[in-house]
């Protein structure tokens, strides 16, 4: 699974369904995403992870995408229902964390108990609420301008003129297309 770093955990979740293929197509992929996104520390056992978790994370992803697209002005359909659902999920308590000594003697973060789906959903939903209620962060919200790319990200560039999710992928495609148009015009 390729993980896109959008700058926010809620947008990272949206990215799992915004690319050419579904990235959360099974429970194992969700488990890898939870670890890769940092929602659970490395080595955490995800004993309760099942198809219900997957369905609930996909539902949250859909709700967040609706809200973000409403903020960007690209779609408002279903945004009110999505907001209600995100607010319900955000109200749950997040997982408790604690520091313990690792094998090397240094402090490492761990969860105070086995992670529960509702607690992990709360972390992502709260991040969406924080993003969408913070005027400065919301003003940095962008959708990639690349052809057929739907990835969302926070523009943290110096001049706030970032256009693509990745300069190496979508940006490079645009530059190649522009070059081909110039050569064809000669």
Encode the chain (186 residues) as per-residue pLDDT tens digits. Answer: 455 678 899 999 999 987 667 889 899 999 999 999 999 998 888 888 999 999 999 999 999 999 999 998 877 777 889 999 999 999 999 999 999 998 899 999 999 888 999 999 999 999 999 999 999 999 899 888 777 777 888 888 787 777 677 666 676 677 776 767 777 777
CA atoms of 185 and 2, how far apart (whole Å)? 37
Report whether 153 contacts 6 (CB < 8 A): yes
Report whether 92 contacts 121 (CB < 8 A): yes
pLDDT at 179: 67
pLDDT at 84: 96
pLDDT at 166: 66
pLDDT at 142: 86
């Amino acid at each position: 699974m390729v993980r896109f770093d959008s700058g926010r955990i809620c947008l990272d979740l949206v990215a799992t369904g915004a690319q050419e293929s579904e990235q959360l197509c099974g429970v194992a992929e969700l488990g890898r995403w939870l670890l890769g996104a940092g929602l659970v520390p490395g080595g955490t056992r995800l004993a309760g992870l099942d198809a219900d978790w997957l369905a609930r994370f996909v539902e949250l992803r859909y709700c967040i995408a609706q809200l973000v697209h409403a903020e960007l002005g690209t779609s408002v359909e279903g945004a009110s229902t999505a907001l209600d659902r995100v607010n319900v999920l955000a109200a749950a308590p997040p997982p408790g964390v604690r520091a313990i000594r690792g094998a090397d003697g240094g402090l490492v973060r761990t969860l105070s108990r086995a992670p529960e789906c509702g607690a992990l959903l709360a972390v992502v939903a709260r991040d969406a609420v924080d993003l969408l209620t913070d005027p400065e962060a919301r003003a940095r919200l962008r959708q990639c301008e690349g052809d057929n790319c739907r990835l969302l990200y926070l523009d943290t560039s110096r001049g706030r003129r970032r256009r693509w999710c990745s300069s190496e992928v979508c940006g490079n495609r645009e530059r190649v297309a522009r070059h081909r148009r110039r050569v064809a015009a000669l």
